[in-house]
Amino acid sequence: MSKLKAPRGTQDILAEDSKLWQKIEAEAIKVFAAAGFNEIRTPIFESTELFSRAVGEDSDIVNKEMYSFTDKSDRPLTLRPEATAAIVRAYNEHSLERAPKPHKLWYRGPMFRYERPQTGRYRQFHQIGIEAIGSKPPYIDLEIIQVGMQLLSNLGLNDLTLYINSLGNQASREAYTKALKDFLSGLQEDVCEDCQRRYQQNPLRALDCKQEADQALYKNAPSLQDYLDEESKEIWTAMLQGLDKLAIKYIVDPRLVRGLDYYSHAVFEIKTSSKELAGQNTVLAGGRYDKLVKDLGGQESPAVGWALGLERLASLIENKTETGGLYIISDSAMDAQILARKLRQDTNNSITIDYDYNSSKFNKQLERAIKRSYDWALFYMEDERNSGKFKLKNLRETVEYNDLDYDAVVARTTSCNAL
């Protein structure tokens, strides 16, 4: 019988990789907490209507990529392709607008899109992101960009560039859409079928096309910057001035539009120059969505957020995570288990403590402790049990400590090996 495999476009996150993911998540939690963001968790599937209304009926996500199904009561449901719409739904449903504004939230979890698997992109993928709902001035945009930059920097990524653009308000977009449509009208026979459809439904999406041939044709397209009205210009100018004051380096990209209908004003991407992603070099992306809360049934409320893909981010970070901790070497698995339980309690579970369940030979146990990258080996043979004194070996420095009492073992192993 053949082995079963994970579905195409999915992957198993094995133990060693999970440690790296935990490191990323722990750093994210620390950075978010410092900036006043609180976690929200929403269902893994939602009403299909939610994403159709939020993301856009004509978007590639809705037309091509959603995993949709009906349940036993014939209700149309969809595995979430992104999290912002679900968070806004929760914000409206639970009347979170009553809380002090802005409402600052962060999330993590799996998302689902049916698309061609490629480097750093899967059909089940995982995101971490933040949303700030209820503040209109661009200072909150600057705050969340700064938080994103801080997180990536803390994780060791320094080759980063912020790409940013303004989509303006609705009036600006309508004026630009008309000019763009005039420009695109003479190219329809030369562009891909998707762009022909976008021309009819939402011309701005053409600028987000991934076909290189089409992008070459759009090189001389009008710039959205030239169609911003006074309100949009004022917000945009304040945004750029704020980035300058924060010393955040950026590049204005007039063709950056993002792929979702709900964006307005500032949209941005943080990219890396790393070659690990084979052209898929956007690490973090987001923007402002001032109309979405109202469009999904709530009170009009400005909002802004971003998301990053864990798979892409993990591929850029060197996995230096180590097991660490203490390995008990004993000729009695039962006695080792009793000691392990006591040590875990007395160290407040701050370090990893394990032992051999098979009472293997001494050298075999020591070899296993070294291969698994433990910091310490604690010898608990018959002599140690009878004397109440322990022998402790530092496996990284190959230093031994003899005749230690129990409290000394606890103190020495926890002093520099906290999880």
Residue 58 scores a pLDDT above 70: no
pLDDT at 318 over 80: no
Query: 336 pLDDT band (50/70/90 cuts)?
Result: very high
Which residue shows structure tokens 């698995």? 333
Task: Round to whole Å and give the CA distance between 154 and 146.
Answer: 12
DSSP letter at 226 equals G
User: How large is the average pLDDT for residues 229-258?
Assistant: 92
pLDDT score at 264: 87
Considering only residues 42 and 177, tell me which one the structure prediction assigns the higher pLDDT. 42
Cα distance between residue 84 and residue 78, in whole Å: 14
Lowest mean per-residue pLDDT among 125-129, 167-171, 374-378:
167-171
Contact 9, 123 (CB under 8 A): yes
Q: What is the pLDDT of residues 59-77, one digit of tens each?
A: 777 878 999 999 999 999 9
Paired strand residues for 38:
105
Is the Cβ–Cβ distance between 224 and 166 less than 8 Å?
Answer: yes
CB atoms within 10 A of CB 174: 11
H/E segment holding residue 132: strand 124-133
Sorted by where each starts, the structural domains of the chain and their CATH numbers stand as: 15-169+229-316 (3.30.930.10), 326-414 (3.40.50.800)
- The dihedral region occupied by 247, where left means phi > 0, alpha psi between -120 and 50, and beta the remainder, is left
> What 3-state class would DSSP assign to 379?
strand
Q: Would the pLDDT of 261 be above 80?
A: no
Average pLDDT taken over every residue of the chain: 89
pLDDT band at 419; cut points 50, 70, 90: very low
Around Cβ 409, how many Cβ atoms within 10 Å? Answer: 23
Pick 56 or 363 by higher pLDDT.
363
Q: What is the pLDDT of residues 20-56, one digit of tens each?
A: 999 999 999 999 999 999 999 999 999 999 998 888 7
**Alpha carbons 353 and 342: distance in angstroms, whole number:** 10
Q: Rounded to whole angstroms, how far apart are CA atoms 79 and 112?
A: 6
Residue 140 has a pLDDT of 95
Give the C-alpha separation, 290 to 303, whole Å: 5
Which residues, including other chains, have CB under 8 Å from residue 13's CB and lie 6 or more apart?
A: 21
pLDDT tier, 418 (very low <50, low <70, confident <90, very high otherwise) = very low
Note the pLDDT tens digit of each residue in 197-216. 887 777 877 877 778 888 88
Q: Give the DSSP H or E segment for 285.
A: strand 282-288
User: Residue range 359-371: average pLDDT?
Assistant: 91
Predicted confidence at residue 279, as pLDDT, reads 52
Q: Which helix (H) or strand (E) holds 31?
A: helix 15-34
Question: Which residues fall within 8 angstroms of residue 100, CB to CB, at 6 or more apart?
Answer: none
- Those residues whose C-beta lies under 8 Å from the C-beta of residue 56, and which sit 6 or more positions away, are 62, 202, 260, 261, 262
As given in the structure block, the two tokens for residue 129 are 């992101």
Give residue 348's region: left, alpha or beta (phi > 0; psi -120 to 50): left
Q: Strand 376-379 and strand 326-329: pairing?
A: parallel
CA–CA separation, 70 and 77 (whole Å): 6
Phi first, then psi: give them for residue 78, nearest 5 degrees: -140, 135
Does residue 82 carry a pLDDT above 90? yes
Q: Which residue has the higher pLDDT, 253 or 115?
A: 253
pLDDT at 275 > cutoff 80: no
* Residue the block writes with tokens 């080996």: 377
Strands 390-394, 264-272: parallel, antiparallel or unpaired by DSSP? unpaired
- Phi then psi for 112, rounded to 5 degrees? -140, 125
Print the SS3 string covering 58-99. Answer: CCHHHHHHCEEEECCCCCEEEECCCCHHHHHHHHHHCCHHHC
- Burial of 94-131, coded b for 16+ CB within 10 Å and e otherwise, reads eebbeeebbbbbbbbbebbbeeeeeebbbbbbbbbbbb
